Amino acid sequence: MSLRACAAGLISGAVLLALSGCGATPNTDLNRELVRLRERSAQQERELAARSSTIEELNRRLSVAGGVDAKQLQYFYYPETIQVAPLSGGYDEDGKPGDDGVVVYLRPLDRDGDVVKVAGTIRVQLFDLSLPPDQTYLGELSVPLEKCREHWYGKLMTQHYTVRVPWQRPPSGEEVTVRATFANLFPQRVVTTQAVVKVRPPAR
């Protein structure tokens, strides 16, 4: 039963009770109850109207988002390339000789070469290409959509995502190849890049 029908039933029942004259409740109490029920019905009507308006607005936005064409897409700001910033490289957490992994500073760039802060997922992989093909993989780290914002840094003339990737296997030399992928949420775009960074291999 809808809220409107329920409220109407309550009011009708109260009216019949008042007309029947039965019971010991004074007419003033019945009048107060009728007023309360009418106010409750009016409030429910307002809530239904507000919900209907919200649903219509959400549907309108979905229609607009789903109807973006190639011409309109040029007005959106989204990454067309992604850059591994020059300061990326090895990091040390335990104070022992050698690095514990690679910290990667990723800069999503739009068509004008400007850094853009956008929602998406990040994946960073590390390789030591000096090793045999079956041993080049050193580790990786993925940042899901809901955690992407936590990795953003935008202060002191620099803007980037910071991703720390610990070794799953330490490198043998001082150069590590970084492969980074950024999957933009909307519009859906995937950009990748690759760069070589300097590290201090752990002592063997």
What is the pLDDT at residue 69?
A: 63
Decide if 184 is inside a domain: yes
194 and 97 share a domain? yes
* Full domain range(s) for residue 137: 81-198
Decide if 37 is inside a domain: yes
21 and 54 share a domain? yes
CA 176 to chain centre: 30
Token pair in block for residue 155: 């202060």
Taking only the tens of pLDDT, the chain with its 204 residues reads: 544 555 455 455 554 555 455 444 567 887 887 887 787 777 777 777 776 677 666 655 654 555 666 666 677 778 999 999 999 999 999 989 999 999 999 999 999 999 999 999 999 999 999 999 999 999 999 999 999 999 999 887 789 999 999 999 999 999 999 999 999 988 788 999 999 999 999 877
| pTM of the complete model beyond 0.85 | no
Decide if 75 is inside a domain: no
Decide if 74 is inside a domain: no
What is the pLDDT at residue 60?
A: 56
CA 168 to chain centre: 28
CA 171 to chain centre: 34
Decide if 73 is inside a domain: no
172 and 93 share a domain? yes
Decide if 203 is inside a domain: no
> Total domain count for the chain?
2
115 and 169 share a domain? yes
What is the pLDDT at residue 156?
A: 73
- The CATH number of whichever domain residue 190 belongs to comes to 2.60.40.1940
Token pair in block for residue 117: 């802060």
189 and 97 share a domain? yes
